[in-house]
Amino acid sequence: MGATHAMGEAMKSFISALLLVLAAPAAMASTVTVVISGLGGNADYTEQFERYATAIADEARNIAQSPQDVILVRGDAAKRNVIMGLLENLPVSNNADVFKLFLIGHGSFDGEHYKFNIPGPDITDDEIVTALAKIESPKQLIVVATSASGALLEPLAAENRVVITATKNPREKNAVRFPMYMVEALSDTSADLNKDESISVQEMFDYTVRAVNSYYDTEKLLASEHARIEGSLADQIEVARYGTLLQRKDTISPAMLAKRQALTSEINSLRARKEEVDEDEYFDRLQTLMLELTNVQRSIDEGGS
Amino acid sequence: MFSAASMREEANMFTRRLIPYGQTNDQTNVLTPAAIALCLGMSALLLPGTVAAEEYDPNRDARLLQCDNIYDRGDIDGAIDCFKPLSNDPSSFIAAEAHWALGSTRDANQKFREAVSEQPRNPHIRARWGRLFLSTHQPSEAVPLFEEAIQLDPDYLHAQTGLVAALLSQSGSEARMLLSDLHQKHPDDVELLLLLARLELESRNVDNADKLLDRALISAEANNITPLDIYALKVSADLLRDNEDSEWVQKALDYSPAYGDIYFIPVHYHLINYRYRESVALLKKAVEVQPTHWSAHSQLGINLLRINDIEGAKKHLEIAYTGDPYDTATVNTLRLLDTLDDFRDLDTEAVYSISGGSEKVAPVVMRLHKDEATYLAPYVEELTQRAVKVFSSRYEFALKQPLIVELFPNHDDFAVRTVSTPGVGLLGVTFGYLLAMDSPSGRPPGDFHWGSTLWHELAHVFTIEKSDHRMPRWFTEGISVYEEWTTGPLRGRHIPVDVLQAIQENKLLPVADLDSGFVRPTYPNQVTVSYMQAGLICQMISKVYGHDKLVRMLELFDQRQDTGQAIANALGISSEALDRQLTTYIDDELGHVINRFSEWRELVTSVHRASQDSQWSTVIALAAQANEIYPAYVGKGSTYIPLHDAYVALGKGDQAVESLEIWYENGGHEPDMLHQLAHRLRDLGRTAKATEVLESLNWVHPNNIDLHERLGNDYLAVGNNEGALREFKSLLGLNPHDKSVVYLNIARTYQNLGNKKLAKRNVLQALEQAPFFREAQDLLVELTGDSS
């Protein structure tokens, strides 16, 4: 690849550092997050995209085991050789348990190909799809928060992957509001519908879509973006955390968390069978589980083990 | 010169005659989407003024006349055998007439087009082609053809009469003048006599109609014209006299045993007087004597729907569709029936008592679209229950059947429900015990005060049923308007500006003729003017003579008295004296506005102009002058809004709130301004007033998540648990982002009400949505006493 050949020494060092990150032991249940801010085209957009990308990366670091698990490419670093180097080298390592990629910026569509706009030659849909095809993480999230991003919805779809695009198709070419509200979702606890102090991809997406729709309604504008989500793992991938889970993430007893998780699974299982169970019996069973969960949660909140 | 004809490349005809029951014609009876769209785009208003086509054709070909006579004597198979060969006649004109008689209206249209092309200077062919359009309910297509025929022959009566009939179906005054002129020139013309008789019957001038019909009978006999239509109008006159055993029915059936029109034509006079059950009875007889009367089947289906017999309606509409798949009313109503699958019937009850007697219960069915039933039902239920209680007592009438309240989120569905065609400007309609109206979501926010519309329609239920559907139109509308102003959910007496102008221009009708302002308006806003005049009359009667006199008048109408008699017997004065009293009343009530109307309008215009230019001091000064003349005006263009804006711009918050409060107290109900007022009142610490303003929004724009959330929390905070419960339940129906919070609030409300079981059930539903919701967890522990 021409871009790879053009890399300087500094870039080689950057990629080497990246390989160390991606080579972390799988047993650590690692999450790797890559956030790339593209070409703004003017000072306002450039500032906006960098701000959004930074906010996403900050939230990702709150979840990450190590700050090194989060890679932010923005500003002067967002050049073709850097980004391509990054994308092409992602699969070289052992894969993380969870892999997340956020592309923030402008996208375009020439009638045949989607392009993520960066200084110099843009990055094409084929390049993105080819690079990400090598990722083997069991849970993947790809967010393309750009105009025309709907073009990538289908090509990027995979069984172990959630794909979010800011538009429903490549013909929605106007600059999108989606990333602004997505960033808001990561820091607004009202996005956390199940109130577990953790915002899932699905919660982030639902909040963002509502906010985007509300923006167009309030401004009495015809909506020029319609975000889409594909994939079945959206409830299982975390994108932000707050409250006790964040403040005491290193001290909460794994046993308590496991208990909490077991009860949550049991509740979800009961909810899934709601239509098959007698109503009174359902709520009696739910009450028992909820009281157990309440006790566990109170122990966690109070720092017990 | 012949542009109208040349542009008529693809006319659409939708009627059929002479086809035996069970058969279809050459056109498919499977309606394609394109055909449906075409049908929906057609005007399908009923044409009470039209008459059967062939009988009055002065130049009828002898061969066609021979077939007509067979048909007129009731031998339908014989008539078909007679007309069929003529449909292949080398003369395009004869073929067109034969196709028309056989019900192949599209073929007839094509043949007429060819005939006009062959004989472009023949006015008769154009007039007959116009009659074809007229008979298929397309007067706007018919008019230019009649006009072209008249251009070719200015004295051609058949075209002139056709033009009058077409215009009568579209507007009033011009057609009436034309009809009067023609009748003076041709006093014995049967068709003109029938048109005049119809107008008299619509105005309930039955004696006048009878005289015209007697004259028509003599003329028909002298000219060997089939008298069946005259008989049908004679039956109509008898029905309006409450003679339901008219001798003219048997005469008609003796003449032509399968003449369904003898029952079908009089139905029109029942329908314009809201007598749907009686219409159904007549229509059943019509299809009994003439099973191929597709229009009767269609109308029977439509009117069965109006009395809530959905299955019966479906049956007859499907029969009508089989025989005539191009009748727009049939197609539209069948489509409506399909959409009813998306509606939910919610049963409730309304408690009432009469004259201080024991409490009774009236069953109520709310028929609401599934997408809005949850959030809307609490308000429909509350207002309906309140109305039944108020009106039962005020009009001393106990509902005898379940009350059906239908709200349509799609205005065109409501329009089809009402008049079988989309595109009408109505808001609500009452068929007796069934009322239908636009849902608040059916129009843009604030476009109408749906609570007032529901109140208006519910008042109709009582006036219509108490008088056994016998009250005149002006009276039932007048009572409904009066009740809107007196007991309805919106403060104030709201009279549109153009009505004030009409009053200033002395456009009000004598009360004895006020119905014509509804049925046959002669100027653009006359229907609205008539509504307001009727409301003012009822308000005046109530104030001057007492509300009980209105109740007495309803009883007198039930006893078959007309307007003049009811006024004389209830009030002891003549209708002319009532007219004079009304003039004085209006002068007392509105004279201060009407006498300075032009000045007030100029001031209002100047206020808005100054507001646009941000001349705030001018706005304040001029608005004060305008509001001094007409302080209660809060309708479109009210000066209170720019006055509020001016005070806001000048930083005078208190005065801004004051101006909006006056606007609100007088019935201002624009949703954005109400939200603003509530917000400002809350900022001033006037929470109770803010809550009251928010509550008023429920009756104008309830489709708002923030409204119910705020109002529910307000009610919960002040211990209004019933109010809180209504708001939170409604909120759930609007699918809020976070339902867990709503369930928790419902649980807390039930806890306040002492209903532990429902409190627990709702807190579990909150946790079902959000298992880690700490406040819900705490409440669950509190409710179960489990703090282990």
Measured between CA atoms, the residue of chain B closest to residue A271 is: B768
Question: Is residue B786 within 8 angstroms of chain A, CB to CB?
Answer: yes
Note whether residue B607 is domain-resident: no
CA B558 to chain centre: 23
pLDDT of residue A5: 31
How confident is residue B598, by pLDDT bands cut at 50, 70 and 90?
very high
Q: Which residues of B touch A264 (CB under 8 A)?
A: 771
How confident is residue B27, by pLDDT bands cut at 50, 70 and 90?
very low
**Mean pLDDT, chain A, integer:** 86
pLDDT digits (tens, 9 = 90+) for A171-181: 999 999 999 99
Which of residues B509, B544, B568 is at a domain's end?
B568
Q: Which helix (H) or strand (E) holds B190?
A: helix B190-202
Which of residues B142, B167, B192 is at a domain's end?
B192
Question: Is the per-residue pLDDT at B49 higher than 90?
Answer: no
pLDDT of residue B396: 95
B777·A271 Cβ contact <8 A: no
Q: What's the gap in Å between the CA of A220 and the closest CA on chain B?
A: 13
pLDDT of residue A257: 87
Residue B671 contacts residue B445 (beta carbons within 8 Å)? yes
Instruction: Give the mean model confidence (pLDDT) for residues B460-472.
Output: 93
Residue B371 contacts residue B726 (beta carbons within 8 Å)? no
Going A274 to A280 to A284 to A285, the CA torsion angle's sign is: negative
How confident is residue B418, by pLDDT bands cut at 50, 70 and 90?
confident
Q: Count of domains in chain B? A: 2
Question: Is the per-residue pLDDT at B34 higher than 70?
Answer: no
How confident is residue A302, by pLDDT bands cut at 50, 70 and 90?
confident
Q: Which residues of A touch B780 (CB under 8 A)?
A: 287, 290-291, 294
B780·A291 Cβ contact <8 A: yes
Greatest mean pLDDT range, A7-21, A245-259, B70-84, B379-393:
B379-393
Instruction: Give the mean model confidence (pLDDT) for residues A228-247.
Output: 92
- The arrangement of strands across the sheet holding B360-369 comes to B343-352, B360-369, B403-408, B434-438, B428-430
Share of chain B above pLDDT 90, in %: 73
pLDDT digits (tens, 9 = 90+) for B89-107: 999 999 999 998 888 888 9
Q: Which residues of A touch B675 (CB under 8 A)?
A: none
Residue B326 contacts residue B12 (beta carbons within 8 Å)? yes
What is the DSSP track for B715-734? HHHTT-HHHHHHHHHHHHHT
- Identify which of A193, A291, A293 has the shortest CB distance to residue B738: A193
Note whether residue B260 is domain-resident: no
Question: Is residue A253 within 8 angstroms of chain B, CB to CB?
Answer: no
Residue B661 contacts residue B634 (beta carbons within 8 Å)? no
Q: Going by DSSP bridges, is the β-strand pair A161-165/A228-230 parallel, antiparallel, or unpaired?
A: antiparallel
Question: Is residue B766 within 8 angstroms of chain A, CB to CB?
Answer: no
Separation CA A78–CA A84 (nearest Å): 10
pLDDT digits (tens, 9 = 90+) for B667-711: 999 999 999 999 999 999 999 999 999 999 999 999 999 999 999
Structure tokens at A193: 């519908």
How confident is residue A41, by pLDDT bands cut at 50, 70 and 90?
confident
How confident is residue B172, by pLDDT bands cut at 50, 70 and 90?
low
pLDDT of residue B302: 94
Question: Is the per-residue pLDDT at B37 higher than 70?
Answer: no
Hey, what's the torsion of the CAs at B133, B139, B143, B146, to 10 degrees? 40
For residues B596 and B44, the model is more confident at B596
B777·A267 Cβ contact <8 A: no
Residue B632 contacts residue B624 (beta carbons within 8 Å)? no
Question: Is the per-residue pLDDT at B522 higher than 90?
Answer: no
Note whether residue B527 is domain-resident: yes
- Nearest residue to A149 via CA among A117, A181, A185: A117
How confident is residue B171, by pLDDT bands cut at 50, 70 and 90?
low
Which of residues B162, B192, B222 is at a domain's end?
B192
**Mean pLDDT, chain B, integer:** 88
Q: At what angle do helices B261-271 and B276-289 cross, to 10 degrees?
A: 170
B772·A193 Cβ contact <8 A: no
Measured between CA atoms, the residue of chain B closest to residue A294 is: B777
Question: Is residue A293 within 8 angstroms of chain B, CB to CB?
Answer: yes
How confident is residue A92, by pLDDT bands cut at 50, 70 and 90?
very low
| Weakest-pLDDT range from A81-95, B35-49, B702-716 | B35-49
Question: Is residue A295 within 8 angstroms of chain B, CB to CB?
Answer: yes
Q: What's the gap in Å between the CA of B448 and the closest CA on chain A?
A: 20
Instruction: Give the mean model confidence (pLDDT) for residues B177-202.
Output: 93
Separation CA B316–CA B322 (nearest Å): 10
Question: Is the per-residue pLDDT at B9 higher than 80?
Answer: no
pLDDT digits (tens, 9 = 90+) for B652-666: 999 999 999 999 999
- Nearest residue to B406 via CA among B443, B425, B431: B431
B777·A286 Cβ contact <8 A: no
Residue B21 contacts residue B106 (beta carbons within 8 Å)? no
User: What CATH number does the domain containing B159 carry?
Assistant: 1.25.40.10
Question: Is residue B758 within 8 angstroms of chain A, CB to CB?
Answer: no
- Identify which of B737, B768, B781 has the shortest CB distance to residue A286: B768
- Identify which of A195, A271, A291 has the shortest CB distance to residue B768: A271
Separation CA B603–CA B616 (nearest Å): 14
CA distances from A250 to A303, B539, B772 (A): 11, 76, 20
A-interface mutation test, from B703, B705, B772, most A Cβ less than 10 A away = B772
CA distances from B190 to A261, B52, B223, B433, B780 (A): 90, 12, 9, 40, 83
Note whether residue B594 is domain-resident: no
Q: What's the gap in Å between the CA of A21 and the closest CA on chain B?
A: 34
Instruction: Give the mean model confidence (pLDDT) for residues B601-613.
Output: 96
Separation CA B704–CA B706 (nearest Å): 6
pLDDT digits (tens, 9 = 90+) for A274-297: 999 999 999 999 999 999 999 999
Question: Is the per-residue pLDDT at B453 higher than 90?
Answer: yes
pLDDT of residue A68: 84
Q: What's the gap in Å between the CA of A96 and the closest CA on chain B?
A: 28
- Identify which of B737, B738, B772 has the shortest CB distance to residue A297: B772
Enumerate residues 6+ apart whose C-beta is below 8 A from B682.
Answer: B690
A290·B760 Cβ contact <8 A: no
A194·B770 Cβ contact <8 A: yes
For residues B425 and B406, the model is more confident at B406
What angle is formed at CA B658 by the lines to CA B654 and CA B662, rounded to 5 degrees?
A: 175
How confident is residue B421, by pLDDT bands cut at 50, 70 and 90?
low
Beta bridge partners of A32: A99
Share of chain A above pLDDT 90, in %: 66
How confident is residue B787, by pLDDT bands cut at 50, 70 and 90?
low
In total, the C-beta contacts within 8 angstroms joining chain A to chain B are 59
Note whether residue B685 is domain-resident: no
Instruction: Give the mean model confidence (pLDDT) for residues B140-146.
Output: 92
User: What CATH number does the domain containing B440 carry?
Assistant: 1.10.390
Question: Is the per-residue pLDDT at B363 higher than 60?
Answer: yes
Q: What's the gap in Å between the CA of A141 and the closest CA on chain B?
A: 23
3-state helix, strand, coil in chain B (%, to 5): 65, 5, 30
CA B780 to chain centre: 51
- Identify which of B737, B740, B780 has the shortest CB distance to residue A290: B780
- Nearest residue to A290 via CA among B173, B260, B751, B784: B784
Note whether residue B83 is domain-resident: yes
pLDDT of residue B624: 96
3-class DSSP state for residue A171?
Answer: coil
Instruction: Give the mean model confidence (pLDDT) for residues B417-437.
Output: 82
CA distances from B18 to B69, B93, B293, B338, B754 (A): 13, 19, 9, 30, 70
In chain B, which among 729-748 make CB contacts under 8 A with chain A? 737-738, 740
Question: Is the per-residue pLDDT at A145 higher than 90?
Answer: yes
pLDDT of residue A304: 54
| Weakest-pLDDT range from B137-141, B287-291, B646-650, B766-770 | B137-141
Q: Which single residue is written with the structure tokens 């109709």?
A: B460
Q: Which residues of A touch B770 (CB under 8 A)?
A: 193-195
- Identify which of A195, A294, A301 has the shortest CB distance to residue B770: A195
Measured between CA atoms, the residue of chain A closest to residue B788 is: A295
Using CB atoms within 10 A of its CB, is residue A220 exposed (0-12), middle (13-18) or buried (19+)? exposed
Note whether residue B511 is domain-resident: yes
Instruction: Give the mean model confidence (pLDDT) for residues B624-628.
Output: 96
Q: Which residues of B touch A205 (CB under 8 A)?
A: none
Q: How many CB atoms lie within 10 A of CB A43?
A: 8
Using CB atoms within 10 A of its CB, is residue B312 exposed (0-12), middle (13-18) or buried (19+)? middle
Note whether residue B644 is domain-resident: no
Question: Is the per-residue pLDDT at A129 higher than 60?
Answer: yes
Question: Is the per-residue pLDDT at A258 higher than 60?
Answer: yes
Enumerate residues 6+ apart whose C-beta is below 8 A from B425.
Answer: none
Q: Which residues of B touch A297 (CB under 8 A)?
A: 772, 774, 777
Separation CA B104–CA B102 (nearest Å): 6
Give, as one character, the DSSP assignment of residue A103.
E
Distance between start and end Cα atoms, chain B: 95
Q: Which helix (H) or strand (E) holds A165?
A: strand A161-165
- Identify which of B761, B772, B786 has the shortest CB distance to residue A195: B772
Q: Which residues of B touch A283 (CB under 8 A)?
A: 760-761, 764
* Structural domain harbouring B155: 51-192
B-interface mutation test, from A208, A273, A274, A287, most B Cβ less than 10 A away = A287
Measured between CA atoms, the residue of chain A closest to residue B770 is: A194
- Identify which of A193, A293, A294 has the shortest CB distance to residue B769: A193
pLDDT digits (tens, 9 = 90+) for B364-397: 999 999 999 999 999 999 999 999 999 999 999 9
Instruction: Give the mean model confidence (pLDDT) for residues B586-599.
Output: 93
Beta bridge partners of B360: B352
Instruction: Give the mean model confidence (pLDDT) for residues B138-148.
Output: 92
Q: Which residues of B touch A295 (CB under 8 A)?
A: 788
Q: What's the gap in Å between the CA of A74 and the closest CA on chain B?
A: 33
Q: What's the gap in Å between the CA of A194 and the closest CA on chain B?
A: 4
Distance between start and end Cα atoms, chain A: 53
Measured between CA atoms, the residue of chain B closest to residue A203 is: B737
Separation CA B688–CA B666 (nearest Å): 18
pLDDT digits (tens, 9 = 90+) for A25-38: 333 458 899 999 99
- Identify which of B761, B771, B788 has the shortest CB distance to residue A290: B771
Q: Which residues of A touch B773 (CB under 8 A)?
A: 194-195
3-class DSSP state for residue B362?
Answer: strand
pLDDT of residue B52: 37
Question: Is the per-residue pLDDT at B28 higher than 70?
Answer: no
How confident is residue B1, by pLDDT bands cut at 50, 70 and 90?
very low
pLDDT of residue A76: 76
